[in-house]
């Protein structure tokens, strides 16, 4: 009976691992303001070698849409700001747009969303702003007429500048000058189940506050966190803070149930000499840690337990874009299809290496034996324990067992929960000693702290042969550590 229970538990766990590998919440922006991009067919093959499952286009290039046919990759296509007036004034124009850009390719090409305009509100062009909602309504009507209503959503994309207040996140509000337009747009999106698309960039937040602690906060690296004075929630990274500010703004207008989509976010790996923040290590840290954070499914403090659909900016550099050098240095891949840096999106490297931080690095020590565990040091303060706990749980590990009702919630102490998270992070990180540092708050021990050691040993005897498999060892360690 015990053996059957164990095998059933493992089966359920492996099944959940299989489904968790489907990362439909990770997308990428595919801009084309460049003269050196690879052909669409090569790009389609590249995307299939990654964990990216959605692509956002700024237009509706037929060659790209066709190249992505039968790949299963979700495709977001866009109508440009210049298209908005015609789409708004003439329903036939909207029908023709659908006939040209959707019907020849769908469903082989998995078009999932049409964005009408890009950051229209912050153009502050009253005519264009007034035409945005009618344009979206006409596109929606054209989709319904083609029996695609509900299958392909309609939205528009906003800059974070539509918010007049975002700090602390609980105080998030839309600018009064945009609220009239937003109310109509949000009612349309609520009625049609489409997402509110926003472009949060912690990179720009760091540029306006270039303290070392702000960089760590923006890069998902260990930091003291920031407490929201409105609700007492501690935020451990800027991405969550910005997304929750949008959630608060939606709630304040009565649209808290409208889903949020991150249409763009990224970090440049290079820039001009006078720019603050660009760099390949920072870009790798931001994008790699963001991907790990999304995979963890912890969500944000105001929207826990799910990952917001997030499109990384960008697939390639766009060498013809104007502006500072950083504008042309966001690409995850080079035109020759090689990686600019490893952000953990390749199917061959699902977990990015731990990025460098501003903390003094620990000199690598000899690897411990397979019986090593990572635990908090004695005398560590609650604030340090909380910071290490938050960091570990933000790196893609499953911290649900130490949530209320979880198998490892008891004993309900900060030290116990931190020990669980720190050790689990260490166990799945190839047991590198530097993965048991946590800003010098943790240490390695050869003594198994698990109160379930005897049960673990009994299980080992029951399934001795399979336990020799390294993957199964890791699975069992994660199941029984608490």
Distances (CA, A) of 451 to 168, 358, 410, 482: 40, 36, 11, 7
**Is 264 a residue of the active site?**
yes
CA dihedral 183, 187, 188, 190 (to 10 degrees): 140
CA distance 239 to 264: 12
For residue 6, with 0-12 CB atoms within 10 Å meaning exposed, 13-18 middle and 19 or more buried, which class applies?
Answer: middle
Q: Are 332 and 345 in contact (CB under 8 A)?
A: yes
CA distance 261 to 232: 25
Q: What are phi and psi of 222, to 5 degrees?
A: -55, 130
CA distance 210 to 224: 16
CA distance 193 to 408: 37
Per annotation, catalytic residue among 53, 119, 259, 318: 119
Question: Strand 111-118 relative to strand 74-79: parallel, antiparallel, unpaired?
Answer: parallel
CA distance 166 to 250: 12
Stated length of the chain: 482
Widest distance between CA atoms in the chain: 74
CA distance 73 to 23: 11
Per annotation, catalytic residue among 23, 53, 259, 264: 264
**Is 318 a residue of the active site?**
no
Q: Active-site residue numbers?
A: 119, 264
């Amino acid at each position: 009976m015990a053996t059957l229970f164990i095998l059933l538990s493992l089966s359920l766990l492996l099944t959940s691992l299989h489904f968790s590998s489907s990362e439909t919440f990770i997308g990428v922006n595919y801009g084309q303001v460049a003269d050196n991009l690879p052909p669409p067919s090569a790009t389609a093959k590249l995307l299939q070698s990654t964990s990216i499952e959605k692509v956002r286009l700024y237009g509706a290039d037929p060659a790209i849409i066709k190249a992505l046919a039968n790949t299963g990759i979700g495709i977001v296509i866009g109508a440009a700001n210049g298209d908005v007036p015609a789409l708004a004034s003439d329903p036939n124009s909207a029908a023709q747009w659908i006939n040209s850009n959707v019907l020849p390719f769908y469903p082989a090409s998995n078009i999932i969303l049409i964005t009408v305009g890009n950051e229209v509100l912050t153009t502050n062009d009253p005519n264009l702003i007034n035409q945005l909602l009618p344009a979206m309504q006409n596109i929606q009507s054209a989709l319904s007429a083609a029996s695609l209503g509900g299958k392909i959503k309609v939205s528009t994309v906003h800059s974070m500048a539509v918010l007049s207040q975002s700090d602390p996140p609980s105080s998030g509000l839309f600018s009064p000058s945009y609220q009239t337009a937003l109310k109509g747009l949000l009612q349309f999106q609520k009625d049609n189940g489409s997402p509110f698309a926003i472009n949060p960039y912690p990179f720009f937040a760091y540029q306006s506050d270039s303290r070392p602690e702000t960089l760590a906060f923006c890069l998902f690296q260990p930091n003291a966190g920031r407490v929201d004075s409105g609700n007492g929630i501690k935020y451990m990274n800027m991405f969550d803070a910005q997304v929750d500010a949008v959630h608060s703004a939606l709630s304040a207008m009565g649209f808290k149930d409208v889903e949020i989509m991150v249409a763009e976010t990224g970090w440049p790996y290079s820039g001009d000499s006078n720019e603050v923040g660009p760099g390949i290590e920072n870009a790798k840290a931001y994008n790699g840690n963001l991907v790990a954070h999304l995979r963890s499914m912890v969500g944000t403090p105001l929207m826990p337990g799910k990952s917001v659909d997030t499109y990384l900016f960008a697939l390639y550099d766009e060498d013809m874009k104007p502006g500072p050098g950083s504008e042309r240095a966001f690409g995850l891949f080079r035109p020759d299809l090689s990686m600019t840096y490893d952000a953990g999106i390749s199917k061959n490297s699902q977990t990015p290496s731990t990025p460098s931080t501003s903390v003094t690095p620990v000199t690598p020590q000899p690897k411990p034996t397979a019986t090593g565990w990572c635990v908090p040091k004695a005398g560590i303060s609650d604030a340090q324990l909380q910071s290490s706990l938050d960091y570990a749980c933000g790196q893609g590990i499953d911290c649900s067992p130490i949530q209320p009702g979880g198998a490892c919630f008891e004993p309900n102490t900060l030290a116990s929960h931190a020990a669980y998270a720190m050790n689990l992070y260490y166990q799945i990180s190839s047991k590198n000693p530097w993965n048991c540092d946590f800003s010098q708050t943790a240490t390695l021990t050869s003594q198994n702290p698990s109160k379930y050691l005897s049960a673990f040993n009994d299980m080992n005897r029951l399934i001795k042969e399979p336990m020799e498999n390294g993957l199964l060892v890791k699975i069992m360690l994660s199941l029984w550590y608490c």
